[in-house]
Amino acid sequence: MLHVNPNISRISVSAASSMTAKARELADKGIKVVSLSTGEPDFDTPQHIVDAAIRAARGGDTHYPPLDGTRALKEAVRRKFARENHVDYDLNEIMVGNGAKQIIFNALMATLAPGNEVIVPVPCYASYADMTRSVGGNPVLLSCGQNNGFRLRPEDLEGAITPRTRWLILNMPNNPTGTVYSRADLEAIGEVVERHPQMWVMTDDIYEHLTYSDTPFFTMAEAVPQLKDRVLTINGCSKGYAMTGWRVGYCGGPKSLIDQMLKVQSQVSSGICTMSQAAAVAALNGPQDIVGTWREIYRQRRDLVVSMLAKVPQLSCHRPDGAFYAFPNVAGCLGKTTAGGQKLQTDADVSLALLAEQHVSTVHGTAFGMSGYIRLSYATDMESLKTACERIQTFCAALH
Ligand SMILES: Cc1ncc(COP(=O)(O)O)c(C=O)c1O
């Protein structure tokens, strides 16, 4: 009999991957599925980035990499933080990991004792809660309602803090809502955090480059500089540079924390693939115009999706300010029966029935900690988005 670590029994495989797997099963049977469940850019990595990796491989950069990242990449990260976020980190305050995901895990693993709490505003990326559980901590999920633009209210944060609180995890632009926090929002949250020295803030800025409103992007260490020695600023190449497969994430934070995170990484994976690091240097140091071009394309896709969903009486969809997800409320579908005779009790029923009957894959909101919603990724071409939204319209029109 297999004895499973009780902490691992508390977690599950990501809902987005299981929906994508279900969509793939249908596609393998020859069914034309429109997949809106995956959270990754549909663009290919730009050629100059790929070329840098090939040059590294051909040039013999094929040995074990330094644990914390190559000097060239750490310097590129330092310049990026200074250039785009106006935050200065020393090289020993920066580390590189296998995606932002490993950085988040390293930080939680390095700092949480059993029973410590991590405040996670929801809806959010599901991994924050599961990673916290996997290392013996307890996620404290704080609901951020649509009526407040899915933003965390400082008074709710204050009410959730206990002596056991170790982290607040912020993610903006947010997966799944696209919410972006203004400088004033961050200052108000920072004021609360400042009063509680037992807690630090992790900001996951992986969608930083994908913002569509006039509000400029701010990260916590920039908006509230007096908190910088309690902030871990996390970012990576996956979303902004269409580099999900390269697995490069990075962060800046106090050396005391980075040193502990490096211990974790040294025992789990060692340093990051050398060719990927060379590619990341080219991404961060190279021309940035492609990021702006893609941002404009995503904006048009967002506008198409939001306008088509607005025509569906059973749905209400806010206009996301960033990332590449729409998060419509599906409460109007619940209690109804589909054309195929499926009674819809939950958001998961909606998502599954949409896949089974209209071949559109989405992820149910409960997977992100908020029921009554579904998440659609608009990181795909306009034609597919139009087809998907038409199918959603057909699905909803047939509900009775
Ligand atoms: C909010 C958020 N953080 C982190 C990640 C993972 O990023 P990476 O590919 O750098 O591990 C994702 C991926 O979907 C995400 O949505």
Q: pLDDT tens, 342-379?
A: 999 999 999 999 999 999 999 999 999 999 999 999 99
Q: Span 265-288, mean pLDDT?
A: 97
Q: Per-residue confidence at 338, pLDDT binned at 50, 70, 90?
A: very high
- Whether 204 lines ligand 1, by a CB cut-off of 6 Å, is yes
In a domain, 58, yes or no: yes
Query: Tell me, what's the pLDDT at 66?
Result: 97
Decide if pLDDT at 17 tops 90: no
Decide if pLDDT at 18 tops 90: no
- Distance (angstroms) between ligand 1 centre and the Cα of 335 equals 34
Q: pLDDT tens, 203-237?
A: 999 999 999 988 889 999 999 999 999 999 999 99
Please identify which residue in the block is written with the tokens 């509230």: 224
Q: Per-residue confidence at 13, pLDDT binned at 50, 70, 90?
A: confident
Q: Span 258-276, mean pLDDT?
A: 97
- Whether 322 lines ligand 1, by a CB cut-off of 6 Å, is no
Q: Which of 234, 238, 272, 327 gets mutated to test ligand 1 (max ligand atoms within 8 A of its CB)?
A: 238
In a domain, 45, yes or no: no
* Strands (E) located in the chain: 34-35, 94-97, 117-122, 138-143, 165-171, 200-204, 231-236, 249-252, 325-326, 360-361, 363-364, 374-377
Query: Tell me, what's the pLDDT at 38?
Result: 87
CA distances from 135 to 138, 160, 203, 264 (A): 9, 21, 19, 12
- Whether 244 lines ligand 1, by a CB cut-off of 6 Å, is yes
- Whether 125 lines ligand 1, by a CB cut-off of 6 Å, is yes
Q: Are 169 and 128 in contact (CB under 8 A)?
A: yes
Q: pLDDT tens, 130-161?
A: 999 999 999 999 999 999 999 999 999 999 99
Higher local confidence (pLDDT), 20 or 243: 243
- Whether 173 lines ligand 1, by a CB cut-off of 6 Å, is no
Q: Per-residue confidence at 14, pLDDT binned at 50, 70, 90?
A: confident
Q: Which of 17, 150, 175, 377 gets mutated to test ligand 1 (max ligand atoms within 8 A of its CB)?
A: 175
Q: Are residues 129 and 162 in the same domain?
A: yes
Residue that finishes a domain, picked among 285, 314, 340: 285
As a whole number of angstroms, the distance between CA 148 and CA 144 comes to: 7
* Backbone torsions φ then ψ of 292, nearest 5 degrees: -65, -40
Domain total of the chain: 2
* Residue located nearest, by CA, to atom 7 of ligand 1: 100
**DSSP letter assigned to residue 12:** -
Q: Are 233 and 88 in contact (CB under 8 A)?
A: no
In a domain, 25, yes or no: yes
Q: Which domain holds residue 63?
A: 50-285
Q: pLDDT tens, 187-199?
A: 999 999 999 999 9
Residue 39 CA, closest ligand 1 atom number: 14
Q: Are residues 92 and 220 in the same domain?
A: yes
Decide if pLDDT at 261 tops 90: yes
Q: Are residues 255 and 321 in the same domain?
A: no
Q: Are residues 126 and 219 in the same domain?
A: yes
Q: Are residues 189 and 261 in the same domain?
A: yes
Q: Are residues 310 and 327 in the same domain?
A: yes
Q: Are 64 and 271 in contact (CB under 8 A)?
A: yes
Query: Tell me, what's the pLDDT at 15?
Result: 80
